[in-house]
Amino acid sequence: MGPTSDERLLRALYAEHGGALLGYALRLTGGDRQHAEDVVQETLLRAWRNPQALAGRPVRPWLFTVARNLVVDAHRARQARPPETGDDALAVLPVGDDIDRALESWTVAEALADLSGPHRAVLVETFYRGRSVAEAAQALGIPPGTVKSRTYYALRALKLALEERGLTP
């Protein structure tokens, strides 16, 4: 089975203009051979896809214009996006710690929700709001001794709830 007319067109374009196009692309890309070869390939592919654009005009200037536009577009695309940093930048991000902290926070919140209302209230006042025993007693309307004993038993219950969830001190 012989080559199709499209394949013959592509081969003819490459045979006649490929060398000059590669040299031009090498100058445009600053000598980057891989990039230049990619530009030549894409340019010839566009010529193959749009044979009507080649009809009735000199082919080489059209090919050179397409190649130049491809290089300019690639340069603009690189400028528009942030530079790639590689895996080294990911190693310094504190993602693991943040996730661990968030999971611990959710676990503690769930454990607090399982406590009785009076135990939860005394822990919220003393630990989360930072109130003294006297201030917590006034806010909760209970004697300071009750705040102390509830705090003791609430912490024991919280410790058990956290151990049940696999979070141990």
Domain boundaries along the sequence of the chain: 5-80, 95-164
Q: Which fold has domain 95-164?
A: Arc Repressor Mutant, subunit A (1.10.10)
Tell me the pLDDT of the chain (169 aa) as tens digits: 556 777 787 788 888 888 889 998 999 888 889 999 999 999 888 888 887 877 777 888 888 888 999 988 888 887 777 666 566 655 555 555 566 777 778 888 888 888 999 999 998 899 888 899 999 999 999 999 999 999 999 999 988 888 887 776 5
Encode pLDDT of 153-165 as tens digits.
999 998 888 888 7
DSSP the chain: -PPPHHHHHHHHHHHHHHHHHHHHHHHHTTT-HHHHHHHHHHHHHHHHH-HHHHTTS-HHHHHHHHHHHHHHHHHHHHHHSPPP--HHHHHT--HHHHHHHHHHHHHHHHHHHHS-HHHHHHHIIIIIS---HHHHHHHHTS-HHHHHHHHHHHHHHHHHHHHHTT---
CATH says 5-80 is which class?
Answer: mainly alpha
